[in-house]
């Protein structure tokens, strides 16, 4: 691509610099080594000042295009200066033979002329025949100069025949040669190579080249995560990134011998609008990549969280209502890479029309002749239409295209998808309010077999956001945190797919309750629409659940839902977080928790719908978010609430439930002496019997009996439960103030994350504290070496042999450099006396960090608070820890003064600055 650099001599004046190099060469006082040093210092100065000019221009304009081409221009001049100095002063040849001619050729990104600030300099030293001794000297001089300038140089020395032979064997080498560019030296040698390259390698091999490059692209996408919507995308190699644009450039250059997308317009391969879209996306991605290089001061192509915020500010993205500047920047980024995907599809469609030998994009199935299916043509196992006018005359066919393709298990021809994109203006207010069109859409949404596949194709083509404008507002909408892996639109489509997997039974092992009750759901259509709309109002500011319910109330009638179904969808959207918040943040053994949740849900049908929506929502957040522990909590909440809604839980009083638990223990310990059983039962207060099931009661009975028999002061018991992805740690020792804090400190030192805790004191004054812990991946803490270290550390910390505070503080200083430190989480302490009849509930939100639980529990100890239970949750960088507490007298906190003191003390403890 030819690009005119503005005010080139401000970057580097090659003739002036060479005159200065000539003066150095002719200085009799400078011998060989000193002369080379003087030349090198001059070139370093010139390179540094040229780079400074380019960066200053970039910081002022944010033009990625100007920057990458200016960097290539600067490098051209440096290479030319070194070459000319070598051939004029170091190894002069006045009448070189044919064999001694040499061409310096740029390849790779340097060959394309688009060098980012810290890109490699890839050079081919090209000879008409084999390399000569003189050529070797010149090449060595150039390379050592470039290396001494601190440049990363990729290089090869080859003859024309070598290039053609190796290019024929290796597609990567052929691609490098394809994008080669003459820099300096003997131009005739380069033109000889270029002519032979086209004639001997390129002609007649277009289909083979395209298939290999598209295959490389698919492998790269798989390696990089196969999604455009990863939270820390790779600007160069990620899906929709610069490498995808390079692939289109290579294919266009290989087939059409073009050097610019605009040349493809003249050949009618792309429209002018599409070519401009290519250049716009390329310039944006170049700008982002240049900032990555400048801010990292190295070749860095991953758009990490810290860089996202920094680059958003540099590119001028400011905070708006409902979206921060960094979220607006990333939305623009995702829209751009989505556009690159559209360009890829369009380009491949055009290529296929020009090269009918075989399809370039393959879909499952056999090759058929043309036939008609539901008003569409089926050609080569792909749906198509006669022309663009089909969609203009009957816009509902835009929607029906995706339905028919999905129902028949066939693809959509790329050219047809191109026409769909060009026909989006016909998806207007009239079509949006057409009952038949809405019926088609609902049929797509509620397909029994993978509706997410069809919806994703609609979203990629821009149809989904046009037909549901509220959905269009969340397309490419990201959330700047470490919890949400995908953009809102991608998360929503994945959630619909997961709901469908639950319904089909595919997730019966991971989500058995949701799978079973999905078959009992009466309002199937309500559930699918609710999943579609559950995050529809994100990015608007305010409570997205409340705002989303308002959207549902307006949209559902348009979709053809009855008033009753509309009300149900709106309620589900409003309530879609209630179940997870209750399960993960409240004590499920407290009847007040279940009663409050049952009052919110009100019916068993709503409970079934809410569980299915909650499971789909959480599983669609990202990899490793769903685990057995969360499944267990949701299952417990579901069964307890279902029991209460059916009248079961209310039927049993607190005393009768305690008696039933004790009777179950007696039945399970029939082989024990009766007195031993009664001794254990007498040690447990009523709250103990209501906090665990029979299995744990039996386990505790054996544990305490063994401890008494052995006379052990401290007993640490470990049970790994892979089904719930958690390890149960039980500590039995003499109770004393600050015990929870000590245990939390030991856990922090050993890398065990506490997710749940039950703190109990028996009637004999012994503590029986149960903790459920996980590793950093959200799985059971089950490494035998780490478990043994944890056991030893717990015993030493509880006995006072180790004081964890100093080591934790040392590690916290180091931890401030962790990725979570990028995010600002405003510390928050909520004190609630209504959530539980017997305890004050304290909910604490803070940035997650090493020793956070230790700091909180130490503060609660200093406040003389008794902790009865705790529920610990982490959402990316955000920790939400909930404690059920009483004061030193065993009462709720009811003093206004105490409220203020508790809040201030805990807020100070969780500050992360």
Q: List the single range of 110-114, 376-380, 650-654, 884-888 with lowest mean pLDDT.
A: 650-654
> What is the per-residue pLDDT across 768-823, written as a single tens digit (0 to 9) for each?
999 999 988 888 888 889 999 999 999 999 998 988 887 887 776 665 555 666 77
Report yes or no: 621 and 483 within 8 Å, Cβ to Cβ. yes
**Residue at 573 is within a domain:** no
Query: Which residue is associated with the tokens 């309010």?
Result: 433
**Domain identity same for 275 and 318:** yes
CATH number at residue 327: 1.20.120.330
DSSP H helices in 652-801? 654-668, 674-683, 686-691, 694-710, 739-750, 784-798
Q: Which of 300, 320, 354 is the last residue of a domain?
A: 354
Average pLDDT value for residue range 174-195:
95
Q: Is residue 617 part of a domain?
A: no
Give yes or no for residue 1 having a pLDDT over 60. no
What pLDDT is attached to residue 268?
83
| Residue 227, pLDDT score | 67
More confident residue, 688 or 86: 86
Q: Are residues 232 and 195 in the same domain?
A: no
What domain count does the chain have? Answer: 4
Q: What pLDDT sits at residue 401? A: 97
Q: What are 645-660's pLDDT values in tens digits?
A: 887 655 456 688 889 9
Strand, helix or coil for residue 729 = strand
13: domain CATH number? 3.30.460.10
Question: Which segment of 97-111, 122-136, 213-227, 831-845 scores lowest on mean pLDDT?
Answer: 213-227
More confident residue, 145 or 216: 145
Domain endpoint, select from 429, 445, 467: 467
Query: Rounded CA gap, 207 and 814, in Å?
Result: 54
- Say yes or no to pLDDT of 882 above 70: yes
* Model confidence pLDDT, tens digit, residues 534-587: 999 998 888 999 999 999 999 999 999 999 999 999 999 999 999 999 999 998
Co-location of 220 and 121 in the same domain: no
pLDDT at 723: 82
Q: What is the mean pLDDT of residues 737-755?
A: 91
Give the pLDDT band of residue 226 (cuts 50, 70, 90).
low
pLDDT computed for residue 651 by the predictor: 43
With a pLDDT cut of 90, the percent of the chain lying above it is 64
Q: What's the CATH code of the domain at 373?
A: 1.10.110.30
- Lowest average pLDDT, out of 556-560, 740-744, 786-790, 874-878, goes to 874-878
The reply to whether 577 falls in a domain is: no
Structure tokens at 241: 């990134």
Do residues 302 and 320 both lie within one domain?
A: yes
Q: Which two tokens stand for residue 748?
A: 């922090």
User: Are both 319 and 395 inside the same structural domain?
Assistant: no
Global pTM?
Answer: 0.83
Q: How many helices (H) and strands (E) does the chain have?
A: 42, 16
pLDDT tens digits, one per residue of 824-861 = 888 999 999 999 988 999 999 998 888 899 999 999 99
Say if residue 385 is in the same domain as residue 237.
no
- Asked if 694 and 809 sit in the same domain, the reply is yes
Average pLDDT over residues 221-247: 83
- Listed in sequence order, the residues at least 6 apart from 822 whose beta carbon sits closer than 8 Å to its beta carbon are 305, 306, 309, 877
In contact, 33 and 145? CB cutoff 8 Å: no
pLDDT at 367: 42
Residue 341, pLDDT above cutoff 90: no
Q: Which of 162, 184, 203 represents a domain boundary (last residue)?
A: 203
Sheet bearing 878-886, strands edge to edge: 714-721, 726-734, 766-774, 753-758, 866-875, 878-886, 840-847, 828-832
Q: What is the pLDDT of residue 813?
A: 63
Residue-wise pLDDT tens digits, 2-48: 678 889 999 999 999 999 999 999 988 888 889 999 999 999 999 99
Determine, yes or no, domain membership for 584: no
Q: Which domain holds residue 893?
A: 669-910
The pLDDT of 438-448, averaged and rounded, is: 97
Is 647 part of a structural domain of the chain? no
Are 25 and 87 found together in one domain? Answer: yes
Residues 760 and 840 in one domain: yes
The 8-class DSSP code of residue 5 comes to P
Domain annotation covers residue 543: no
Greater confidence (229 vs 612) lies with 612
Q: CB under 8 Å to 507, separation ≥6 — which residues?
A: 498, 501, 514, 515, 619
The mean pLDDT value of the chain amounts to: 90
What's phi and psi for 344, nearest 5 deg? -60, -45
Tens-place pLDDT, residues 108-117: 889 999 999 9
- Write the DSSP string, 760-782: -B-TTSEEEEEEEEE-TTSSB--
Please report the pLDDT score of residue 366 as a whole number. 42
Residue 660 lies in a domain: no
Edge-first strand listing for the sheet containing 103-106: 153-159, 121-127, 103-106, 181-185
Rounded CA separation 291/285 (Å): 10
Q: Is the pLDDT of residue 237 over 70?
A: yes
Residue 176 sits in the same domain as residue 231: no
Phi-psi category of residue 38: left, alpha or beta, with phi > 0 → left and psi -120 to 50 → alpha: alpha
Q: In terms of pLDDT, which residue wins out, 193 or 912?
A: 193
- Alpha carbon 374 to its chain centroid, in Å, reads 39
Kindly report, residue by residue over 626-644, the tens digit of the pLDDT: 888 899 899 999 999 998 8
Check: CB of residue 767 under 8 Å from CB of residue 732: yes
- Domain match, 212 and 198 both: no
Mean pLDDT on 335-350: 83
Mean pLDDT on 730-735: 93
Mean pLDDT of 706-728: 89
Distance CA 93, CA 146 (A): 22
pLDDT digits (tens, 9 = 90+) for 483-492: 788 889 999 9
Q: Do 723 and 742 share a structural domain?
A: yes
Q: Confirm whether 583 is domain-assigned.
A: no
3-state secondary structure of 585: helix
Average pLDDT over residues 178-194: 95
């Amino acid at each position: 691509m030819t690009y005119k650099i503005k005010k080139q001599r401000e970057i580097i004046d090659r003739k002036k610099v060479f005159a200065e190099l000539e003066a150095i060469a002719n200085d009799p006082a400078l011998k060989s080594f000193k002369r080379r040093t003087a030349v090198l210092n001059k070139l370093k100065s010139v390179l540094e000042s040229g780079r400074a000019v380019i960066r200053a221009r970039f910081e002022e304009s944010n033009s990625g295009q100007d920057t990458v081409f200016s960097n290539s221009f600067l490098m051209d001049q440096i290479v030319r200066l070194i070459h000319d100095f070598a051939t004029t002063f170091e190894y002069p040849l006045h009448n070189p033979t044919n064999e001694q001619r040499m061409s310096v050729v740029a390849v790779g990104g340097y060959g394309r002329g688009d060098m980012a600030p810290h890109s490699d300099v890839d050079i081919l030293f090209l000879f008409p025949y084999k390399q000569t001794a003189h050529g070797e000297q010149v090449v060595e001089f150039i390379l050592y100069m470039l290396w001494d300038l601190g440049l990363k140089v990729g290089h090869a020395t080859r003859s024309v025949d070598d290039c053609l032979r190796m290019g024929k064997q290796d597609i990567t080498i052929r691609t490098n040669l394809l994008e080669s560019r003459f820099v300096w030296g003997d131009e005739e040698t380069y033109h000889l190579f270029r002519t032979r390259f086209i004639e001997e390698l390129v002609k007649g091999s277009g289909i083979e080249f395209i298939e290999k490059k598209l295959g490389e692209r698919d492998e790269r996408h798989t390696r990089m995560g196969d999604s455009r919507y990863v939270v820390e995308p790779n600007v160069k190699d990620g899906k929709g990134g610069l490498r995808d644009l390079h692939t289109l450039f290579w294919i266009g250059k290989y087939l059409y011998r073009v050097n610019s997308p605009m040349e493809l317009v003249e050949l009618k391969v792309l429209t002018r609008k599409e070519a401009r879209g290519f250049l716009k996306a390329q310039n944006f991605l170049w700008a982002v990549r240049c900032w990555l290089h400048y801010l990292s001061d190295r070749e860095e192509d991953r758009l990490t969280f810290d860089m996202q915020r920094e680059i958003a500010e540099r590119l001028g993205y400011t905070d708006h209502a409902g979206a921060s500047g960094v979220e607006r920047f990333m939305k623009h980024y995702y829209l751009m890479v989505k556009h690159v995907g559209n360009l890829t599809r369009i380009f491949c469609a055009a290529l296929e029309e020009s090269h009918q030998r075989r399809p370039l994009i393959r879909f499952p199935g056999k090759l058929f002749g043309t036939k008609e299916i539901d008003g569409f043509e089926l050609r080569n196992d792909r749906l198509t239409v006669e022309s663009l006018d089909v969609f203009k005359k009957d816009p509902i066919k835009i929607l029906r295209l995706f339905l028919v393709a999905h129902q028949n298990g066939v693809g959509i021809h790329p050219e047809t998808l191109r026409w769909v994109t060009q026909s989006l203006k016909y998806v207007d207010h009239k079509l949006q309010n057409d009952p038949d069109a809405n019926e088609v859409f609902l049929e797509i949404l509620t397909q029994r077999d993978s509706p997410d596949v069809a919806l994703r194709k609609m979203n990629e083509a821009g149809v989904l956001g046009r037909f549901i404008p509220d959905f269009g507002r969340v397309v490419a909408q990201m959330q700047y945190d470490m919890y949400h892996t995908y953009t809102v639109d991608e998360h929503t489509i994945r959630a619909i797919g997961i709901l469908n997997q639950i319904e089909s039974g595919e997730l019966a092992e991971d989500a058995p309750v949701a799978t079973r009750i999905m078959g009992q759901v009466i309002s199937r259509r309500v559930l699918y629409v609710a999943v579609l709309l559950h995050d529809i109002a994100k990015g608007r500011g305010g409570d997205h659940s409340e705002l989303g319910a308002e959207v549902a109330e307006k949209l559902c009638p348009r979709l053809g839902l009855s008033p009753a179904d509309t009300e149900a969808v709106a309620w589900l959207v409003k309530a879609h977080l209630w179940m997870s918040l209750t399960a993960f943040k409240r004590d499920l053994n407290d009847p007040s928790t279940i009663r409050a949740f049952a009052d919110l849900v009100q019916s068993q049908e709503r409970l079934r719908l809410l569980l299915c929506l909650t499971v789909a929502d959480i599983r669609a957040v990202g990899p490793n978010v769903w685990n057995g522990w969360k499944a267990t909590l949701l299952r417990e909440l579901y069964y307890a609430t279902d029991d209460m809604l059916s009248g079961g839980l209310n039927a049993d009083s607190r005393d009768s439930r305690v008696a039933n638990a004790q009777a179950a223990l007696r039945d399970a310990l029939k082989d024990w002496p009766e007195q031993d059983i009664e001794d254990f039962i007498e040690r447990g207060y009523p709250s103990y019997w209501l906090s665990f099931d029979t299995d744990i009661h039996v386990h505790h009975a054996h544990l305490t009996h063994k401890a008494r028999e052995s006379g052990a002061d401290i007993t640490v018991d470990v049970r790994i439960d892979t089904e719930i992805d958690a390890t149960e740690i039980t500590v039995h020792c003499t109770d004393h103030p600050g015990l929870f804090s000590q245990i939390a400190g030991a856990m922090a030192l050993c890398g065990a994350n506490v997710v749940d805790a039950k703190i109990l004191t028996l009637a004999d004054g012994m503590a029986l504290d149960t903790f459920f812990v996980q590793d950093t991946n959200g799985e059971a803490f089950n490494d035998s070496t780490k478990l043994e270290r944890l056991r030893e550390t717990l015993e030493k910390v509880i006995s006072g042999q180790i004081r964890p505070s100093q080591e934790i503080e040392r590690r916290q200083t180091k931890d401030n450099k962790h990725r979570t430190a990028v995010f600002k989480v405003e510390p928050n302490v909520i004190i609630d006396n209504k959530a539980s009849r017997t305890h004050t509930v304290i909910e604490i939100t803070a940035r997650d960090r090493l020793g956070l639980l230790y700091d909180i529990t130490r503060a609660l100890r200093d406040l003389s608070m008794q902790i009865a239970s705790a529920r610990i949750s982490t959402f990316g960088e955000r920790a939400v820890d909930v404690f059920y507490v009483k004061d030193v007298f065993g009462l709720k906190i009811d003093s206004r003064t105490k409220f203020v003191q508790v809040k201030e003390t805990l807020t100070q403890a969780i500050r992360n600055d």
